[in-house]
Chain A
Amino acid sequence: MSAQAAEHAVHDPNLGITGLDHRKMGMWAFLGSECMFFGSLIGTYMSYKGKSLTGPTPHEIFNIPLTSVSAFVLLMSSVWMVLALNYLRLNNMRWAKFWILMTALFGAWFVGNQVYEFAEFVHEGLTLQTSLFGSTFFVLTGFHGAHVTGGVIWLLSLWALALMGKLGPEDYLKVEIAGLYWHFVDIVWIAIFTLVYLIP
């Protein structure tokens, strides 16, 4: 490390007295609030479960095999994220870039599946306005999908920066934070998939 970089590391304005970077701690605080956000949406879904007066029921309309593939895709994307970070730390930018892109693509695949699923449901007579099930299902899974989409955009931005040579091992923390967000979004999906799709 150069003298300047060494001095900079000592005076790193983002490093806190706990040894944790401010930005990582900030992401954890944000994820705490997201727990409450999704908790409220899931709570709303659960409190209205079985109370719809009309329209297709979950049992009638869900395509569990397709959604299971989707869930698996999202889970795998979290694995790719771990790989991406690993290669970044090893300063292997070629593979780091590859796995960041794969994470984003798998995330996009998940969202694509979801868009297809939503279109099918609408076609089969379930919309936002059909019933309590329609309202709660689309809002809960839609907001989750929007979070995944935001993550995909974030990851693609990181990938683009890397392509431009503007992302390297020194940016490990920034990619790690994106990873934290990504894993969280995945965990929320596990909860939604279980409570909404799997449990009758």
Chain B
Amino acid sequence: MATHAAFMPGAVTEKQSVLVSWLTTVDHKRIGILYGTSAFTFFLIGGIEALIMRLQLAVPDNTVVSAQLFNELFTMHGTTMVFLAIMPMSAAFFNYMIPLMIGARDVAFPRLNALSYWIFLAGGLLLHASFVFGSVPDGGWFGYANLTTKQFSPGHSIDFWILGLQILGISSMLAGFNFIVTIINMRAPGMTLMRMPLFIWMSFVVQFLVVLAFPAITVGLILLMFDRFFGTLFYAPAAGGDPLLWQHLFWIFGHPEVYILILPAMGIVSEVLPTFARKPLFGAPVVIYSGIMIGFFGFGVWSHHMFSVGMGPVADSAFSIATMLIAVPTGVKILNWIATLWGGSIRFTSALYFALGFIAMFTMGGLSGVMHASPPVDLQQTDTYFVVAHFHYVLFGGSIFGLAAGAYYWWPKITGRVLDERLGKLHFWLMLIGFNVTFFPQHYLGLIGMPRRIYTYAPDLGWNFWNLVSSIGAFTIALSFLVFIVNVVKTMRAGAPAGPDPWDGRTLEWSIPSPPPVYNFAVVPAVQDRDDFWLQKYGDEHGGKPRKAPAPRPEDIAAIHMPPPSYWPILLAGGLLFMLAGALVSIYQVILGGLLTLFCMYRFALEYHRPRAGGGHHG
């Protein structure tokens, strides 16, 4: 039950309807829930796209879908899973958990936070509006020029893709600025950088990757848009333009992007394992430094996605060495996670199962990645089902398993109820088995020559049986998510209530009620170490005694000022969507949308300028 201790005059009052309260929320917890439900919905859409593809590929020379539709499906499946499922699901956890885990009451810029969400939703809606207009993107999720130029992709499909991604880029970058400032500037007293939980560290690295990598794809997309709309020559070979310019710009973004996709899951696993092994993360500083190194060096390996383009032996060698180097901190992290379990007292909850699944599957994906790091070997593997297997092992076996672990782990904190453990384990086993049945055979298919992005294949190449097996696996994965949905519905109706600390956790979020009050912490905690909450409960082995945090007094709570709700984030996002969608319609819509956006920006910026009474406010 929310209490807003102080409202700005003229702002939205308590008499809001439920709908309006969600549309105008600036509470990081609600924004996290918005991200999570949206991301899961897009994940299901992307999953259905995958199921249709696997139906088509189950037998050779199949006619379930046309070539065009298949090409649209793999484009949208990739784009959706990367930008509309995994990234926003990570964002759901950033939003909900970062302030809780650093002992803060919200993020640095709550309205900007809401704005990021609504802009994300706008981007997702614009991309999917392409289905309504029969102009679905079909250039692949990495949209290589010059196939995506107007000459070879007439119509609006690629335009939807460009505009959708630009909008999503804005959303991610705004959130990046927000979380960087939050993590640096809003930690509870005593929480030095090295005392931050690992999830915070990995999220911190991710935000830097976002703000530094997205501009490259922003520029790449701008150049493509200018080629398509204004006839510039950036990707025009006939005028001396180089299609490889697109690949460089895309992968300078794209490689850090894959670390953006995996590091949050690594952060989650780094929280889940210690909790359920009842001992601290082994080598926490090493895991932190490994994360930093992966983020930093991740900017130096992008051309390992381009080993087949003919960069020459020197460039091939340089990127190969750099890629192999990154395998070291990655492997070190895996061993540290295992060492965390070693000597522990392991409780096998669903959350832990998913974390273990992450380690097992990500190890496999990482090892096939080491194979790809060798350019000669990669010349056989790239653009085949072998690399499809590799990236699904790291993105599904890695990210999705990790995010699932986070969902089961933090569900009690977010909703106040514990997800059913039996259904959770059923979900895990179905997902683990289904996932491996789907993707393990794809290594073999790649090694016997099956290229990727083909809507059908000949019956005499020996690919038939394992394609069928893979398709059956895909439906098993779908079944596992049905189990999850059943679990969610069951739990929301009549799930076991969770106290503040159902898992006997180690970090600050477990020290407050489930779900937390709107202000999170009645009293801002003072932190003395990493895993401070554990130490408060149990003391440490060097004579430190358990501490009890002081009970909150009513006057503490009354003195808390939480930022009030605001209309401007959703309105500004709407203006931005109207303006950018206008590129598909007419210049007048762009101009009108631009004016609307400018207007909303002014109102947003000036909303708390010169407040009339009671304290200036919030970002």
| Touch test A–B (CB under 8 Å) | yes
Which residues on A are within 8 Å of B, measured CB to CB? 8, 11-14, 16-18, 20, 22-23, 25-26, 29-30, 32-34, 36-37, 39-41, 44, 47-48, 51-54, 128-129, 131-132, 134-136, 139, 143, 157, 161, 166, 171, 174
Complex Cα gap A144–B617 (Å): 32
Interface residues in B223-268 (C-beta closer than 8 Å to A): 223, 226, 230-234, 239-242, 245, 249, 252
Name, among B187, B249, B619, the residue most crowded by chain A CB atoms within 10 Å (CB to CB): B619
Determine how close the nearest CB of chain B comes to the CB of A163; give it in whole angstroms. 14
Complex Cα gap A13–B215 (Å): 30
Determine how close the nearest CB of chain A comes to the CB of B103; give it in whole angstroms. 11
Task: Tell me whether B561 and A13 are in contact (CB under 8 A).
Answer: yes
Q: Chain A contacts of B610 at CB under 8 A?
A: 166
Complex Cα gap A143–B232 (Å): 15
Determine how close the nearest CB of chain A comes to the CB of B478; give it in whole angstroms. 38
Determine how close the nearest CB of chain A comes to the CB of B27; give it in whole angstroms. 15
Query: Is B180 among interface residues, defined by CB-CB distance under 8 A?
Result: yes
Task: Tell me whether B176 and A18 are in contact (CB under 8 A).
Answer: no
Complex Cα gap A128–B234 (Å): 10
Task: Tell me whether A40 and B616 are in contact (CB under 8 A).
Answer: no
Are A26 and B619 CB-contacts (below 8 A) given A37-B219, A139-B222, A157-B602?
A: yes
Task: Tell me whether A16 and B241 are in contact (CB under 8 A).
Answer: no
Are A22 and B109 CB-contacts (below 8 A) given A40-B220, A129-B231, A135-B232?
A: yes
Query: Is B615 among interface residues, defined by CB-CB distance under 8 A?
Result: yes
The B interface, classified by DSSP as helix, strand, loop or mixed, is: helix
Q: Chain B contacts of A39 at CB under 8 A?
A: 215
Determine how close the nearest CB of chain B comes to the CB of A168; give it in whole angstroms. 9
Task: Tell me whether A16 and B561 are in contact (CB under 8 A).
Answer: no
Complex Cα gap A145–B186 (Å): 36
Q: Chain A contacts of B219 at CB under 8 A?
A: 37, 40-41, 44
The A interface, classified by DSSP as helix, strand, loop or mixed, is: helix
Which of B180, B214, B561, B616 is A29 in contact with, Cβ under 8 Å? B180
Are A11 and B561 CB-contacts (below 8 A) given A44-B223, A139-B232?
A: yes
Which of A40, A52, A132 is B215 in contact with, Cβ under 8 Å? A40
Q: Chain A contacts of B239 at CB under 8 A?
A: 52-54, 131-132
Task: Tell me whether B187 and A128 are in contact (CB under 8 A).
Answer: no
Interface residues in B168-203 (C-beta closer than 8 Å to A): 173, 176-178, 180-181, 184-187, 189
Task: Tell me whether B173 and A16 are in contact (CB under 8 A).
Answer: no
Query: Is B211 among interface residues, defined by CB-CB distance under 8 A?
Result: yes
Q: Chain B contacts of A30 at CB under 8 A?
A: 177, 211
Q: Chain A contacts of B619 at CB under 8 A?
A: 14, 22-23, 26
Task: Tell me whether B222 and A26 are in contact (CB under 8 A).
Answer: no
Q: Chain B contacts of A54 at CB under 8 A?
A: 239
28 A–B contacts, CB within 8 A, in A order: A13-B561, A13-B563, A14-B616, A14-B618, A22-B186, A25-B108, A26-B181, A29-B177, A33-B211, A33-B212, A36-B213, A39-B215, A40-B220, A47-B242, A54-B239, A128-B226, A128-B230, A128-B232, A129-B232, A131-B240, A132-B233, A132-B234, A132-B241, A134-B232, A134-B233, A135-B232, A135-B233, A139-B234
